[in-house]
Structure 1
């Protein structure tokens, strides 16, 4: 049985929250797999996405060009509050029916966009800060084909980088990351492993986000 976007977001949030809450203030200036963002900027971007996609669930207008400063005060606690509101917004009966956003995309597709952001950026932040992150299997099962279908449009809109080549033995999550233009082996400079940064403007993982 297909899970609802609300259920999938709840599962994704459960995996993302420990990563965000575990970020030390001293790590906020570090690099991430998104070349245009340090840790602080990426957390701030993820806040913006989570808040705006609450509005999109309610068929309200959003403006991704306006980005307040979210990483102040008890931002870790507020991140938990906002993800809970996101789950609630996408759990309203009928929320996946019809279309939403300026592009008039199917509501479930828009829900998959924020599911992708929450999952992929949680990996970005985990990799940047040395935390562990493994997505929930049901989320991965939904996102794999979903992001692959969105990828051509996402690349045209500069939301995904060019696909990263991975070997035949790559896991399903590594293949998903590669579709977004990420190197699954990325590590911060100065640590063991690959240090290649990927993407063009930070590969948000959500085609249509600026105009969603």
Structure 2
């Protein structure tokens, strides 16, 4: 079976997996557009997102306190496998029903949050490591709506930085990045 969430995750995942597969070990200490996160830190965070949101799809609570280093032997292949499991977990129609006991939000919003992290952090990692990133076009409208909805609370909680003004005539990705507090023109040297 499939759901709207799993369809969108399936469209977004291969693009982020491709970026992750191309990150070399000598790039792990590079800065990223996420304050206080090096490439290594962001990869570990994204790995946690991919794994924990599988559990959240089953409406079980997760703990974000554990911070294991996932970047051990075979981490690129494991990330790809866990991302496939994420898509599969959200393909169960029950995953989109009701309210998440762990997050206190509608399950559809929780699934969209996984999609947001997968897409935006895919861009973060690509730009930090000099790669091209083209998100799946079909995910951007839903993510822009979600970012607009979550932004006030996300800023209060320190999840999003202050919005970066972006020309409204620009494509959807730069506008989404600006809403999440990222400068679409960010570069590791500037």
TM-score, normalised via structure 1 length: 0.86
Q: List, as ranges, runs of 4+ consecutive aligned residues in structure 1 with deviation greater than 3 Å.
A: none
Shift of 1:147: 1.1
Alpha-carbon distance between aligned partners in 2 of 1:111 and 1:142, rounded to the nearest angstrom? 11
* Number of positions where the alignment pairs a residue of Structure 1 with one of Structure 2: 188
Spell out, residue by residue over 1:100-159, the C-alpha distance to the aligned partner (whole angstroms, 9 max, x if none). Answer: 143421000000101000000000000000111011111112111111111111111110
- 2:75 maps to what in 1? 75
- 1:192 maps to what in 2? none
Matches within 5 A, 1:20-31: 20-31=20-31
Larger proportion of helix: 2
- 1:19 maps to what in 2? 19
Alpha-carbon distance between aligned partners in 1 of 2:103 and 2:47, rounded to the nearest angstrom? 22
In structure 1, stretches of 5+ residues that fail to align are 190-194, 196-212
The answer to whether 1:144 aligns with 2:132 is: no
User: What SS does the corresponding residue of 2:43 show, helix, strand or coil?
Assistant: helix
RMSD over aligned Cα atoms: 1.0
Alpha-carbon distance between aligned partners in 1 of 2:167 and 2:114, rounded to the nearest angstrom? 28
Alpha-carbon distance between aligned partners in 1 of 2:147 and 2:121, rounded to the nearest angstrom? 14
Spell out, residue by residue over 1:83-108, the C-alpha distance to the aligned partner (whole angstroms, 9 max, x if none). Answer: 00000000012210101143421000
TM-score, normalised via structure 2 length: 0.96
- 2:93 maps to what in 1? 93
Alpha-carbon distance between aligned partners in 2 of 1:96 and 1:131, rounded to the nearest angstrom? 33
Aligned partners of 2:60 and 2:102 also within 8 Å? no
- 2:180 maps to what in 1? 180
User: What SS does the corresponding residue of 1:143 show, helix, strand or coil?
Assistant: helix
